[in-house]
């Protein structure tokens, strides 16, 4: 099999840092052995535990939307195989990643370390982010949520960007970018129609503070969701 990442080409992915990273990270080392023949096809692949490694195009598109560079502080929610984290670390240098499934987190951490990527992985509730290392210049969520978790937005630095798929599994999902602009506050941009596995919430939702509830309402308005719990 071909074990060299191809020079990917997509008309709407033009960031040279992203294209170089995609051409560097060995995707075949992030998929099960029986899937390695398909590692460089531009398709998602199963990695076990009902999870997938995203289509390379989607990885590149989401990474480009983050607008990261060397030294950017990056949080990933949904480590999965570790492939997306490796792409991010190739550009930024250091990445923090939260994975809800302990087996995936452990395997990904070991794989990333063995390959020399500076990624710190922990098992946890991605809805809550990783506040100990905040603020982040970029946060990427690699599973679909019904709404934007307010805690993630609270962990964005001024000028930071959150890229997240929103929607219900097996129904329409949309990839959004939320930017914390210094002058205009939170701004949203719809990027693409996508299909992701669900972002699982592990902790029960407690009583929200007034600040959190106001933020949640604003975030729902930004992406066209009703203000209530629906």
Annotated catalytic, 97?
Answer: no
Q: Do 150 and 212 meet the contact criterion of CB atoms below 8 Å apart?
A: yes
Query: CA of 107: how far to CAs of 65, 73, 79, 122, 215, in Å?
Result: 27, 23, 10, 11, 35
What are the strands, taking DSSP E only, across the chain? 45-48, 51-53, 74-77, 95-99, 119-123, 136-141, 156-167, 173-181, 185-194
φ/ψ of 50, rounded to 5, equals 60, 25
Query: Which residues does the annotation mark as catalytic?
Result: 54
């Amino acid at each position: 099999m071909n074990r060299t990442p191809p020079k990917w080409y997509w008309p709407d992915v033009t960031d040279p840092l992203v294209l170089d990273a995609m051409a560097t990270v060995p995707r075949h080392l992030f998929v099960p052995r029986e899937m390695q023949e398909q590692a460089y096809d531009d398709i998602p692949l199963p990695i076990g535990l009902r999870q997938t490694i995203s289509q390379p195009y989607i990885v590149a598109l989401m990474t480009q939307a983050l607008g990261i560079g060397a030294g950017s502080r990056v949080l990933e929610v949904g480590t999965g195989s570790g492939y997306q984290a490796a792409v991010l670390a190739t550009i930024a240098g250091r990445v923090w990643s939260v994975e809800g499934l302990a087996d995936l987190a452990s395997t990904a951490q070991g794989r990333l370390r063995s390959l020399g990527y500076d990624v710190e992985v922990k098992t946890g509730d991605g809805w809550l982010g990783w506040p100990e290392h905040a603020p982040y210049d970029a946060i990427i969520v690699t599973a679909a949520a019904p709404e934007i978790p307010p805690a993630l937005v609270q962990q964005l630095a001024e000028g930071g960007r959150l890229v997240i798929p929103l929607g219900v599994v097996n129904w329409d999902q949309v990839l959004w970018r939320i930017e914390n602009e210094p002058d205009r506050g939170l701004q949203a941009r719809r990027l693409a129609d996508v299909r992701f596995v669900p972002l699982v919430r592990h902790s029960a939702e407690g009583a929200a503070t007034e600040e959190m509830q106001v933020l949640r309402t604003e975030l729902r308005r930004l992406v066209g969701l009703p203000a209530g719990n629906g």
